[in-house]
Amino acid sequence: MIITVASFKGGVGKTTTAIHLAAFLQGQAKTLLIDADPNRSALSWAQRGELPFPVVDEWQVDQLHNHYHHVVIDTQARPTQADLATLVSHCHLLVLPTTPDILALDALVLTVNHLQQLPAPQYQILLTAIPPHPSRAGDEVRSLLQSAHLPTFARGIRRYAAFQKAAQAGVPVYGIQDPKAEAAWQDYKAVGQEILTRLHP
């Protein structure tokens, strides 16, 4: 199973999402994370600590990826139209993380417009960095997306300082000392479940 994570805009938790989806899938079967983002964020995350799956850059892929059951790809931000077509055609699901704010939604709309010109694109939008109650930004954006009939994960990822600590420590969020680490990990586990039920009903 190949999961690609992409977004037009940076800073929306693309790398965090790739890492934690890979961590979830690793719980099911051998998983590989390919860091195709020129910033090499996922690689430096892995370098600072230890992740339960290997992380490689896109040049090391050929000799490896048929040893793995699942592959998660962290792509560069702002893919071109052509890039998008390639991405979509080579994966089972394209995950589009976005924060619940106007600027990110703007960029999301551009991406989706491009996607919908492709034949039967498999993609799903993931709301990330959702601010805590009483902000309703998360709910508002979700219902907005749903009313636009855009495929969105039912579960979103809340904004927790635990994710920052995890990035700093170089581990998945469940590996750090934080009162909200468990809740943060549950969010990604729920999203991982949604992916599994979508692709293997």
Partner DNA sequence: TGAGTTAGAATGGCACCACCCGTC
Partner DNA sequence: GACGGGTGGTGCCATTCTAACTCA
C-alpha–C-alpha distance, residues 21 and 195, integer Å = 9
Q: Which range in 24-32, 63-71, 142-150, 174-182 contacts DNA by CB under 7 A?
A: 174-182
The residue among 31, 43, 152, 45 whose CA lies nearest residue 96 is 152
| Residue 124 CA from chain centroid, whole number | 10
Q: Does 102 bind a second copy (CB under 8 A)?
A: yes
Tokens of residue 105, six digits: 């939604």
Tokens of residue 134, six digits: 């009483």
Tell me the closest approach of the beta carbon of residue 127 to a second copy, in angstroms.
Answer: 14
Which three-class secondary structure state does DSSP give residue 45? helix
168 contact choice in DNA, a second copy, none (CB below 5 to 8 Å, kind-dependent): a second copy
Q: Is the dihedral of CA 149, 154, 159, 161 positive or negative?
A: negative
Site string for a second copy, 61-90 (x = CB under 8 A): ---------------xxx------------
Tell me the closest approach of the beta carbon of residue 120 to a second copy, in angstroms.
Answer: 26
Closer to DNA by CB, 48 or 180: give it. Answer: 180
Q: Quick count: other Cβ atoms within 10 Å of Cβ 48?
A: 14
| Residues in touch with a second copy (CB under 8 A) | 8-12, 15-16, 38-41, 44-45, 48, 76-78, 99, 101-104, 106-107, 110, 131, 135, 137, 161, 164, 167-168
